[in-house]
Structure 1
Amino acid sequence: MSGRPEQLFPLFAGLETLQGVGPKTAEHFAQIQVTAPRDLLFSLPYSVVDRRRRDTIRGLELPATATVEVTIGRHRPARAKGGAYRIDVSDQETEFQLVFFHGRSRYLEAQVPEGSRRLVSGKIELFDGLAQMVHPDHMLPLEEAHDIPEFEPVYRLTSGITQKTMFKAVQSALSRLPDLAEWIDPGLKQKRGWPEWQAAVQAVHAPASLDDLQPDALGRERLAYDELFAHQLTLAIARSVERAQSGRSSQATGKLQSKVLSALPYRPTNAQGRAIEEISADMAAPRRMNRLLQGDVGSGKTLVAFMALLVAVEAGGQGVMMAPTEILARQHLEGLQPLAQDAGVVLELLTGRDKGKERKAKLDALARGDIHILVGTHAVFQQDVSFHDLRLVIVDEQHRFGVRQRMELAEKGQRADVLVMTATPIPRSLALTQYGDMEVSVLDEKPPGRKPIKTAILSTERMSEVIDHLRRAISEGRQCYWVCPLVEESEVMDLTAAEDRFKHLRAVLGEGVVGLVHGQMPPAEKDAAMAAFQTGETRVLVATTVIEVGVNVPNASIMVIERAEIFGLAQLHQLRGRVGRGTAESTCLLMYQPPLTEGGRKRLEVLRESEDGFRIAETDLQMRGAGDVIGTAQSGVPRFKIADLERQADLMAVAQSDARALMTSDPSLTSDRGRAARVLLWLLRQDEAIRLISVG
């Protein structure tokens, strides 16, 4: 796969090769990530202007956009400085004026001389009973009139680029459309009624009505599918490259697992049992496991993860569990310690803090195989860390692991199995986008004994009641999180800073009772504040959202979230899951600043009604859009230019099964359809995939 197919060359040529694009314009285009003609093809119009010709503007309901042939009449230059330059014009039945501010007489006299005929198009408004077209969008001699389409697409622009420039450049790019072989499965294409690729691209740039701009317009839907299919094909290729590297078979004996299960005070849920079986089967297979374990807050991921680690140990090897921060690594250690004691296996922690002799002793024990299970931060992946026989790597998905990192990670453990855990319930369409190369196990039941959390919605005007409630709870020995939205006061949003809330609560509840933790603190201070809360030294922890990740304080039974209306649903759900971990009844108070918008109220009510993270995530996706749900910037979710993940979720699932099917029947993509699919990957700049195929 040496390089880009020749038939795509014209689409990847320099922008200056297009009509009306010079070096300066090309620079402006680069600001909206348009660097080649193919980028223009995928920059779709978001609106359309009806520029069908009319004989007269008489009888139009103004204001309206009209396109009409006129005879140019008298020019009336501005009388005073800053006044308007007006030109009288007449169509077949009536007269109106063209109006220009800062109009230069010499230019206008040359462009539209008195007595000439012109096609003008623009917005007509009534002003003092007079119809006027201020700054027409188009003013053309009749022989050039065909330059204006009847329906003019409207594009997103950047400074230095006008609609006219954009339209011309797109038309010029369209004139180079190559005839490409079909990469979509013929049965699917027929069933959906989708046009050929070339026809689809032409159609989306020539909308004749607002309906043509909807995601379900056939041309748009086809191009959206192309995008999703190319993305899923990339993941499918990554998956087949991963699978081609033989893994190792780790057979569970059940010896250690049975010790843990018999020591548990309850039976695992069906969901946990199912996940453990799926993982054990993957580990026993000769291929490398690449599985995602998705579970809501409190669904019992720790037990499943530990059982998987035991499979590695039972098979004579080692397992490692990676966490993004030291606090979380310590928590995993605490969570796993009692289970490790039941099983009689050696569990150890390795973080960046381990230095000198201590570190060396741990490394030697690891290399000898005396440590069975290692919990650590990414310090685990430094050069000098070597395992005796690493068989399973578990990644706690708080640090987003993209496909590339997943591949690197597996290199470390000589072909070790990989299990990624995430506590964020992700709607299925997004899970496919982000983890399409992985198999997925879902924990969708809560273990017995977890009490439901009461959720209430209150206005900030009832602050004093909330504080009284806290005072009572503290006197009963309970603890509370108080979450504030932002640390530094920003002028834009009048948000109560965490600092102010901290001082206020300290004044009311007493010194030494209240702790503070926020993003701008040095890590050591943050750890100290967290530790004081974990040991129960402080009773109330005022925090920005830094606490949403994994902190476990079973004695904390109240969660107050200020300005809850500006948080995402998934984030609120995660925060709420920090309480309800102990024996006490827990409450979550969502405080909003009135007035609450309709949408804001709806979102908070979803939380009050449901504790099901998957349902909440689906609602969040519908209400806010994909980018926000997972914070696109850091999530590794690709930004699609045409596909709309909220409204076309079903297409993503089709794309995944189609891509996997094609890779199974034609792993080297050498059949006719396979070769067409390679062209699609080049067309959509999926270079990584292309590199993988050429390697594979």
Structure 2
Amino acid sequence: MKSLQDAVGNLKGVGPKRVADLATLGIDTVEDLLTYYPSRYDDVTPVDLATVKDRQKVTVQGIVVSEPLLTRFGYRRSRLAFRIQVGQQVVLVTFFNQPYLEKKVKLNQPATVMGKWDAQRQQVTANKLVTASDQAKAGAGAIYPVNKHLRQATLKGLIKQAFDDYQNVIPTLLPKPLRDHYRLLDRRTMIHDLHFPKNATVAQAARRTAAYEEFFLFQLRLQAIRQANRHADGNRILYHNDELKEFIAGIGFELTDAQKRVVNEICRNLREPYQMNRLLQGDVGSGKTIVAAIAIYATITAGYQAALMAPTEILAAQHAEKLAKVFAGTHVHVGLLTGSLTAKQHRELGKAIKSGDVNLVIGTHALIQDDVDYANLGLVITDEQHRFGVNQRQRLREKGDQPDVLAMTATPIPRTLAITAYGEMDVSVIDELPAGRKPIETRWLTVSQQNQALHFLRDQLAAGAQAYVVSPLIEESEALDVQNATDLYNELAEYFGPRYRVGLLHGRLSGEEKDDVMHRFQDGQIQVLVSTTVVEVGVDNPNATVMMIYNADRFGLAQLHQLRGRVGRGDRQSYCLLLADPKTDEGKERMKTMVATNDGFVVAQKDMELRGAGDVLGNKQSGVPDFKVGDPVSDLKMLQVAREDAANLLKTPHWDEQDENQPLVLYLHRHQLETHFD
């Protein structure tokens, strides 16, 4: 029996090479092929030029009234020009570098062209001559994202074949009440109308259904995880309250109100009989680490182990060093588990973890390797949450007997999107900075003002401060006209030497070399650290007061904000200098945003508007996939509605026993979720 889960190799004429080619587009099954939707449409329906705006893309149909004139200039460059009469208008049509079309254009014959309309000159700069067969084929205007392995025509033919062969086994996943309520299409019609629409209106209706379906299915998976975790028997971590209060009192500073609120939320979760699954958001420098330390200490007083997973060895090592100081003199024993340990070190630490002698394990992805066993894992913390996907979060859970999970991120995400994106998690926000923190002063300078910036930097160094200077690339690149870290290091070493020492840090250094440079910077032996974005996370030096970023317009807003957060960690006023000559409006907007605000949530909102949610959340690595149709930014309301609908469905008694919902139940099981339904 046919199924959408059939491999694409089942289609006629699809051999091993074509299977491999399709795999490069992420297409392995018939369903993958049928849901590989067009990125846009070239509407072949002719338009009335009286209604068209200047520079708009149009399809124009008329009678050829002048002989086509082909002019060649330069290597493989040509211009084909002719005039067509459209109603009472005569329009000039120009094709560039398509000389073979000359034979297809006949005087006094009809011609239909697609291109850009120039209202002032009354002409079309065309890119396609539309044939009669194009206009006869439904959906001929669908344009797909392809690569060097597959041509548009080949992909279209395979999609047409798949639809013809499998249309009768396409199940509708959305429940009928939702389809009726929102006037959505059944899935077979939706897929047909996305690939082969009669017109733009039909295509738009299909895209609306597809966007909602994507959001609903994604939210259903997240809500199912959430419900399963709520039903799962968790550990009641009955920590010693007096001991915890004593630990907090000995920290040496007063927690902010936001930190106290978040600590209370976490501690309440620890005592509850089901798993905690909480996302902790806090801007750079808001004090997430001490909140994590309190949760760790509470867990260990109850006799459990805790694990903290960071995305890089640098960050893991920094956490281990910082937390070892925080827990000095307590019964917390810290172990650092990373990929750079020798086999013997890994083996010995593994034994100590398994026996429970090490009760706080800090590391990278090494923490979730198969050969790492825990004695009694009660709490798992992930740092820089946006770098870990849903599956990795699930794997962490499996390392213990239903451990509580706290995920931290210093990448602020607008609250509405955070709640929606991480639908299976509760969300806590530290929305204030510790007392005494001075806002970082951010300035945008043009590249021609570099000397002014360097003079300012020299004054800061003379006052005893240190500085970061960040460059986008390690070595010379012909493709990008950007200052590279190696050249910049040589330039600044000459400029500041011999009075001030300049260091160089980049991703191609070995772990030992990076550690050596960072320690010398933190000890004050290096005054200026030239670096790539390696310093985005994992370097903490309270004496550094200047962050100077070359070609700042090459970075996204979130990354600029993370880099800026490396300074402003001490008592002195800190500065962020952005050197940039942005060529685009978006680049200028990013610079203005950085100067206008220090609030990471404002920055994140702007970043989301400019780049989209996928990039803000880390794209493929994040909990939010790169949706094929829906846009979590412009369609945020739809995403939130889909979240409510998914949650309501899962609360409906026996929904999974109804015949019409069986395709949905199968969908969830196919995604390997161990869910429990009401």
TM-score scaled by structure 2? 0.81
Stretch deviating more after TM superposition (291-300 or 435-444):
435-444
Q: Is this contact kept in 2: 1:7–1:178, CA < 8 A? A: no
Amino acid at match of 2:513: E
> What is residue 689 of structure 1 aligned with on the other side?
671
Match of 2:430 among 443, 448, 460: 443
CA distance in 1, matches of 2:79, 2:306: 78
Q: Is this contact kept in 2: 1:518–1:544, CA < 8 A? A: yes
Is 1:137 aligned with 2:126?
no
Match of 2:219 among 208, 219, 232: 232
Amino acid at match of 2:167: L
Q: Is this contact kept in 2: 1:319–1:374, CA < 8 A? A: yes
> What is residue 335 of structure 2 aligned with on the other side?
349
Q: Extract unaligned runs of 5+ from structure 1.
A: 55-60
Match of 1:147 among 136, 144, 147: 136
Q: What is the CA-CA distance between 1:43 and the residue it aligns to?
A: 1.7
CA distance in 2, matches of 1:224, 1:654: 12
> What is residue 43 of structure 2 aligned with on the other side?
49
Q: Which has the larger radius of gyration?
A: 1
Q: What is the CA-CA distance between 1:672 and the residue it aligns to?
A: 3.5
Q: What is the CA-CA distance between 1:467 and the residue it aligns to?
A: 1.6
CA distance in 2, matches of 1:362, 1:91: 80
Q: What is the CA-CA distance between 1:386 and the residue it aligns to?
A: 4.7
> What is residue 551 of structure 2 aligned with on the other side?
563
Q: What is the CA-CA distance between 1:452 and the residue it aligns to?
A: 1.0
Q: What is the CA-CA distance between 1:585 and the residue it aligns to?
A: 0.9
Q: Matched residue of 1:550: which SS?
A: coil
CA distance in 2, matches of 1:556, 1:492: 32
Is 1:486 aligned with 2:482?
no
Change (3 A) 1:585 1:198: same
CA distance in 2, matches of 1:608, 1:267: 30
CA distance in 2, matches of 1:154, 1:301: 48
> What is residue 552 of structure 1 aligned with on the other side?
540
Change (3 A) 1:387 1:123: closer
CA distance in 1, matches of 2:411, 2:80: 61
Q: What is the CA-CA distance between 1:528 and the residue it aligns to?
A: 0.8
Matches within 5 A, 1:113-192: 121-122=112-113, 136-139=129-132, 147-148=136-137, 153-156=141-144, 158=146, 177-178=167-168, 183-184=173-174, 188-192=178-182
Q: What is the CA-CA distance between 1:75 and the residue it aligns to?
A: 13
CA distance in 2, matches of 1:44, 1:8: 19
> What is residue 194 of structure 1 aligned with on the other side?
184
Is 1:507 aligned with 2:494?
yes
Is 1:254 aligned with 2:247?
no
Amino acid at match of 2:607: D
CA distance in 1, matches of 2:91, 2:319: 77
Q: What is the CA-CA distance between 1:53 and the residue it aligns to?
A: 10
Q: Is this contact kept in 2: 1:482–1:559, CA < 8 A? A: yes
Amino acid at match of 1:292: L
Q: What is the CA-CA distance between 1:435 and the residue it aligns to?
A: 3.1
Q: Extract unaligned runs of 5+ from structure 2.
A: 49-54
CA distance in 2, matches of 1:307, 1:132: 66
Q: What is the CA-CA distance between 1:560 and the residue it aligns to?
A: 0.6
- In the alignment of these two chains, the number of paired residues is 655
Q: What is the CA-CA distance between 1:340 and the residue it aligns to?
A: 2.1
Q: Matched residue of 2:427: which SS?
A: strand
CA distance in 1, matches of 2:343, 2:127: 77
Is 1:601 aligned with 2:570?
no
Q: Is this contact kept in 1: 2:379–2:406, CA < 8 A? A: yes
CA distance in 1, matches of 2:370, 2:172: 47
Change (3 A) 1:137 1:334: same
Amino acid at match of 2:559: Q
Q: Percent identity?
A: 34
TM-score scaled by structure 1? 0.79
Amino acid at match of 1:494: D
Q: Is this contact kept in 2: 1:235–1:437, CA < 8 A? A: yes
Matches within 5 A, 1:532-543: 532-543=520-531
> What is residue 579 of structure 2 aligned with on the other side?
591
Q: Is this contact kept in 2: 1:292–1:441, CA < 8 A? A: yes
Change (3 A) 1:336 1:96: closer
Stretch deviating more after TM superposition (332-341 or 92-101):
92-101
Q: Is this contact kept in 1: 2:311–2:364, CA < 8 A? A: yes
Q: What is the CA-CA distance between 1:68 and the residue it aligns to?
A: 6.6
**What is the aligned-residue RMSD (CA, Å)?**
4.7
Change (3 A) 1:466 1:236: same
CA distance in 2, matches of 1:538, 1:130: 63
Q: Is this contact kept in 1: 2:280–2:407, CA < 8 A? A: yes
Match of 2:630 among 643, 650, 659: 643
CA distance in 1, matches of 2:127, 2:346: 76
Q: Is this contact kept in 2: 1:84–1:103, CA < 8 A? A: no
> What is residue 51 of structure 2 aligned with on the other side?
none
